[in-house]
Amino acid sequence: MQDERYAFRGKKHLILPILFLLPQLVITVVFFFYPAGEALLGSVYMEDSFGLSREFVGLDNFVVLFSDPGYLETLYLTFIFSIATITLTMGVSLLMAVVADQVHTGGTLYKSMLIIPYAVAPPLAGVLWLFLFNPSVGVLSTFLDGLGYTWNHKLNGNQALLLLIISASWKQISYNFLFFLAGLQAIPRSLIEAAAIDGASPWQRFRNIIFPLLSPTTFFLLVVNTIYTLFETFGIVHAVTQGGPSRATETLIYKVFNDGFIGLDFGGSSAQSVVLMFIVMILTFLQFRYIERKVNY
């Protein structure tokens, strides 16, 4: 269908498209394909600790990786972190969007406030919450102390993970809110009004009409949020807990960084990168399926 478009063709029109494409192609090859290829290669080699020689080891790095209880723990931990963050942020955002969609006075003001976290970089969001939960001076930890609950995320791994989940969810509320709101506003009012006339309660209207019609948005956000919790939250982990206490908050992406740059285990880190690329490929595929499906709606 594309090739039937009217376009510049022939030898006369060869230089300009090449010049136009070149910058993006060069950058993509140098900073994407080459490093991705290196990661793939590195994942099947074992390098000595001085980086002087490498030996082909096939899938050994992957075997080592998946039989390492530490890596499996990291997988499990990342899974918990992702599910909790996605549930929390999507739940709050959906509630806010559904309510904001119905409010007529002050809607713009609420919207302006709710999009603020989008501007805040993940590590900065982490630092803000780190301060609130700081065991000695934090406002919220002091409050919890007053209730008889001791908060110290520097010693308690579960509390550290919870701190990351709260920070990561807070930061992502804006994004989800905006997309849910856009999705809600695209639902024809007449449908909801018809249901109301037929006597459907607000909950029934939400459950049977709004939520199903919102499902493309929900699915899209699910994929985007997964990518967010897997990768973009690196800054939160690094700035707030640095994987601690005793690796209780070491997520997949933090482990790639830690093993590659601190532990200098290039083969192991490459194998981990390849696993991550594989995950992203699956998510991209799902996303494309979504885009295709949306066209048919």
Partner 1 sequence: MVEKKGLGRALSHAVLLFGAAIVLFPLYVALVATSHSYDVLIGSTPLWFGGELIKNFTTVLTQGLKAAGGIPVWVMMSNSLIMALGIALGKIAISITAAYAIVYFRFPGRELCFVLIFITLMMPVEVRIVPTFQVAANLNFIDSYAGLILPLIASATATFLYRQMFMTIPQELLEAARIDGAGPWRFFVDVVLPLSRTNTAALFVVLFIYGWNQYLWPLLVTNQESMYTVVMGIQRMVNIPDAVPEWNLIMAVALLGMLPPLLVVLGMQKLFVRGLVETEK
Q: What DSSP letter does each residue of 154-165 carry, written as one string?
A: TT-HHHHHHHHH
55 forms bridges with which residues in the sheet?
A: 46
Closest to partner 1 by CB, 151 vs 266, is: 266
Residue from 142, 152, 156, 218 binding partner 1 (CB under 8 A): 142
Q: Three-state SS across 66-114?
A: HHCHHHHHHHHHHHHHHHHHHHHHHHHHHHHHHHHHHCCCCHHHHHHHH
Q: Which of residues 90-119 bind partner 1 (CB under 8 A)?
A: 92, 95-96, 99-100, 102-103, 106, 110-119
Given candidates 132, 155, 187, 222, which one binds partner 1 under the rule CB under 8 A? 132
Please list every residue from 196 through 255 that binds partner 1, using CB under 8 A.
Answer: 196, 205, 220, 224, 227, 231-232, 234-235, 238-239, 242, 253
CB closer to partner 1, 14 vs 72: 14
The two tokens of residue 206 are 């939400």
Size of the site for partner 1 (CB under 8 A): 102
As a whole number of angstroms, the distance between CA 117 and CA 121 comes to: 8
Q: Which stretch binds partner 1 (CB under 8 A): 57-65, 75-83, 150-158, 262-270?
A: 262-270
Site mask, partner 1, residues 4-33, x = CB under 8 A?
-xxxxx---xx-xxxxxx-xxx-xxxxxxx
Report if residue 63 touches partner 1, rule: CB under 8 A.
no
* Residue whose token pair is 């399926």: 289
Q: Which residues contact 262 (CB under 8 A, 6 or more apart)?
A: none
Place of tokens 């800054």: 235
Nearer to partner 1, 124 or 213 (CB): 124
